[in-house]
Amino acid sequence: MKALCWHGKQDIRCDEVPDPKIEHPRDAIVKVTSCAICGSDLHLYDGFMPGMESGDIMGHEFMGEVVEVGSENKKLKVGDRVVVPFTICCGECDQCRRGYFSVCERSNRNKSVGDKVFGHTTAGLFGYTHLTGGYAGGQAEYVRVPYADVAPVKVPSNLTDEQVLFLGDIFPTGWQAVVQCDIEPTDTVAIWGCGPVGQFCIRSAVMLGARQVIAIDRVPERLAMARAGGATTIDFETESVVERLNDLTGGKGPEKCIDAVGLEAHATATLDSMYDRAKQAVMLETDRPHVLREMMYVCRPAGVLSVPGVYGGVLDKIPFGMAMNKSLTIRTGQTHVNRWTDDLLKRIEEGQIDPTFVITHRASLADGPELYKTFRDKHDGCVKVVLQP
Amino acid sequence: MLDRTRMPSASTAHALARGLGWFSLALGAAELFAPRALTRRIGLRGQEGLVQACGAREITTGIGLLTTSQPAPWLWGRVAGDVLDLATLAAGSDGSSRRRGARGLAMAAVLGVTALDVAAALAASGTERPRRRLTYGYDRRRGFRDLPDRMRGIARDAVVPKDMRFPEKLRPWGGGGS
Ligand SMILES: NC(=O)c1ccc[n+]([C@@H]2O[C@H](COP(=O)([O-])OP(=O)(O)OC[C@H]3O[C@@H](n4cnc5c(N)ncnc54)[C@H](O)[C@@H]3O)[C@@H](O)[C@H]2O)c1
Ligand SMILES: [Zn+2]
Ligand SMILES: [Zn+2]
C-alpha cells in the first residue's frame, strides 16, 4: 500500500510499504477514506519531537471503512464506517475508566520508554514517535487499529467524511481546551494561534457562551477566518498583544487564556523569542515558550491557562512565580478524545456547527509531501489539508 | 494548488547566509579573545578595544544569521560592519610601515567578504516572503449556520465534567463564594 513516511527533518515521502495485518484479536484494519495533516505533525516534520525513526508512517487524524476485524472484537463489523481518535486506549485501566484516555496506562507498547521519559507512561498514539508506542499512522491506504473495540466512533452515512473527520482530533481538542476553562457567561477568552485548533477553540468558546472571544495570530487569512467565527482579532506582528488584551478587558486581562500554538511559537521581534531561538539552535532548550510567558503575564489573577498546544521537552524562563502569585490554574493535555465525541457528533448532526469550514486544501496521498510544506509555510492560504488515499 | 512561487535561489541564499553566520562566529571569537595577535599582525597596535568591540558585533550577527529564517536584515548588518572594518583598517595605522603590506592584504580580504555579503543580502532580500493582504474569502467561513452572535451559548447545555469545573468556593462570579 501507499503511505506517507518520515525520513528525517522536512523529509516526508509517499512510499510503497507492506499492508498492515491483524496482530491482536481486538484489532481491526481500516481502509482509510480521508485523512488530514495536523499541526502536531509539523512538530515531527520540523524535527522538534524526539523518537521518530526513518520509515515511520505519519498521520493520526483519519477515518475509513472497517475491512477486517480480530476474533475478539465485538464492537466493529466489516463495512462499518468509523472515525478513529488519535489516542489509543484500552478502556479498562484506571485512567481510561476515569475518562483520561490520552494517558491510558496500557496502550503504549513502549511503556518502559514512556515511564522513563515522562515519569509515568502516556497513551499510545498513531503515527507519533516511539515514545508513544511507535504505531503506524493513518496517512496511508490502510491502518491497523489496536484496541479497536474501544475508541473508534461509528458515524452515520448521511454525514460526509469531511463533516466528521475532525472528530478524531482537532474538534475535540478545541472543545476540551475551552471546556477545561469552565466558561462563565461573563468570561473573555483569549486564544493564541488561529490554526485549525485555534479555529475550533474559537467556535467552541462561542458555543459554550463566552461573552468575548479574542484570537491572536499574524496570518491575515487565518485572522479573517477567526473573525468569521465571532472573534475579535489581534495581529501580533503589528500590534502589542498585552496592550490590546488589556484594552479589550477594561485593563483587567482575560479570565481564560488558551495556547493553541505550542512549541514552535513564532519569533517576533520580542527579546524573549530571540533568546529562545538562539538557545534552541544550540540545543540548550527544546521548545519556544513565548506564548506561555505572555499568557502568564496578561491573564487575570485567579484565571485559567489552558494548553492544548503541544510541548516536547524542556522550557526555559517560565515565570512560574507570576503564575503562583496570581493564583492561576493551568490545565494541559493531549485530548481525551472519546470523552467528547458523542456530544460533538450530535451537535454536527443537529447542524450547530459544520467543521468543513476549516478545510482549504484537498489532494491525494501522493501530493502529501508537497502539502506538508504548504501547510507549514502557510502558503496559498492553507489552513487545513485533507488527503484522500 | 501546489506552491511553485519559491525561487530556486532561495535555498542557496539561505545556505550562503548560514555559511557567513559561521564565519562571523569564528572571526568574532578571534577578535574578542585574541585581539593582540590580530592587531600586531595588521599594524593596528593600541586598537585592541576597538577590535574586541568588532568581535562582539560579529558574534551577535553570527548567532542572528544561524537562528533566523529571514536572514536579509542580518546580512545587511554584515555589510554595514564590513564598511566599518574597512574604515578602521584605512584610518587606524600604528605607523609601522612594515605592516602596511599586511594591512593591504587584510583590506583586500574584507573587500572580498563584503562583495559576498552584498550578494547574499541581495539574494535573500529578493526571496523574502511578500506581505500578503489576501484573505481568500475566509471571512465568510463561519462554520455556524447563523451569525456567531446568534450561536453564542447554543452549547450551554453541555455538561462540564466535575474534574474540569472550578470548585464552588472558588467561583467569585457565580455567587458560590459566600
Ligand atoms: N492537545 C492535543 O491533543 C492537540 C491536538 C491537535 C493539535 N495540538 C497542537 O495544537 C497546536 C496548534 O495546532 P494547529 O493544527 O492549529 O497548528 P498550526 O501550526 O497550523 O497553528 C499554529 C498557529 O499559531 C500561530 N502562531 C505562531 N506563533 C504565535 C504567537 N507567538 N502568537 C500567536 N499565534 C502564533 C501560527 O501563525 C499558526 O497560525 C500545535 O502545537 C499542535 O501540536 C494539540
Ligand atoms: Zn493532531
Ligand atoms: Zn486504558
Determine, yes or no, domain membership for B93: yes
Region B3-29 average pLDDT: 66
- Which residues are found with C-beta within 5 Å of the ion, ligand 2? A 38, 40, 169
Residue B176 has pLDDT above 60, yes or no: no
Q: Which fold has domain A171-332?
A: Rossmann fold (3.40.50)
Q: Which of A162-171, A247-256, B115-124 shows the lowest per-residue confidence on average (mean pLDDT)?
A: B115-124
Name the closest residue on chain B to residue A280, using Cα atoms. B67
pLDDT band at A377 (very low <50, low <70, confident <90, very high): very high
Amino acid, single-letter form, for residue A329: T
Higher pLDDT: B92 or A337? It is A337
- At B11 the pLDDT is 57
Tell me if B31 sits within 8 A of B88, measured CB to CB: no
Q: Looking at chain A from residue 312 to 341, which residues have their Cβ under 8 Å from any Cβ of chain B?
A: 329, 331, 339
Pull the grid cell for residue B68: 533566523
Is the Cβ pair A281, B66 closer than 8 Å? yes
pLDDT band at B98 (very low <50, low <70, confident <90, very high): low
Residue A250 has pLDDT above 70, yes or no: yes
In the CATH scheme, what is the code of domain A2-169+335-388? Answer: 3.90.180.10
Residues of each domain in chain A carrying CATH 3.40.50.720: 171-332
State the burial class of residue B49 (Cβ atoms within 10 Å of its Cβ: 0-12, 13-18, 19+). exposed
Is the Cβ pair B145, A354 closer than 8 Å? yes
- Show residues of chain B in contact with A366, CB under 8 Å: none
pTM score, whole prediction: 0.80
Which helix or strand (DSSP H or E) is residue A4 part of? Answer: strand A2-6
- At B117 the pLDDT is 80
Residue A146: CB atoms within 10 Å: 22
Determine, yes or no, domain membership for B142: no
- At A304 the pLDDT is 97
Helix/strand/coil percentages in chain B, nearest 5? 65, 0, 35
- At B1 the pLDDT is 42
Number of domains in chain B: 1
- At B7 the pLDDT is 34
Residue A192 has pLDDT above 80, yes or no: yes
Determine, yes or no, domain membership for B24: yes
Q: Using the mean position of ligand 1's atoms as its centre, give its distance from the Cα of residue A340 in Å.
A: 20
- At A267 the pLDDT is 61
- At B125 the pLDDT is 72
Residue A255 has pLDDT above 60, yes or no: yes
Q: Write the Ramachandran bin of A186: left for phi over 0, alpha for psi from -120 to 50, otherwise beta.
A: alpha
Distance from CA of B24 to the nearest CA of A (A): 15
Region A355-373 average pLDDT: 98
Is the Cβ pair A277, B67 closer than 8 Å? yes
Q: Measured from the CB, is residue A40 less than 6 Å from ligand 1?
A: yes
Q: Measured from the CB, is residue A291 less than 6 Å from ligand 1?
A: yes
Higher pLDDT: B77 or A368? It is A368
Which one of A37, A40, A382 would you pick to mutate in the ligand 1 pocket, going by the greatest count of ligand atoms within 8 A of its CB? A40
Which one of A170, A197, A292, A373 would you pick to mutate in the ligand 1 pocket, going by the greatest count of ligand atoms within 8 A of its CB? A197
Q: Measured from the CB, is residue A310 less than 6 Å from ligand 1?
A: yes
Of ligand 1's listed atoms, the one at least distance from the Cα of A376 is: 19
Determine, yes or no, domain membership for B171: no
Q: Measured from the CB, is residue A236 less than 6 Å from ligand 1?
A: yes
Amino acid, single-letter form, for residue B177: G
Query: Can you tell me the distance from the alpha carbon of B139 to that of A64, in angstroms, rounded to the nearest whole number?
Result: 31
Determine, yes or no, domain membership for B137: no
Pull the grid cell for residue A236: 501580533
- Show residues of chain B in contact with A279, CB under 8 Å: none
Tell me if A46 sits within 8 A of A286, measured CB to CB: no
Tell me if A254 sits within 8 A of A231, measured CB to CB: no
- At B24 the pLDDT is 82
Q: What is the pLDDT of residues B18-36, one digit of tens each?
A: 788 788 888 888 888 888 8
Region A151-163 average pLDDT: 98
Tell me if B59 sits within 8 A of B24, measured CB to CB: yes
Determine, yes or no, domain membership for B175: no
ipTM of the prediction: 0.87
- At B157 the pLDDT is 95
Which residue segment(s) compose the domain that B86 sits in? 8-126
Mean pLDDT in chain A? 95
Q: Enumerate the β-bridge partners of residue A305.
A: A257, A330
Determine, yes or no, domain membership for B138: no
Region B119-124 average pLDDT: 78
- At B107 the pLDDT is 80
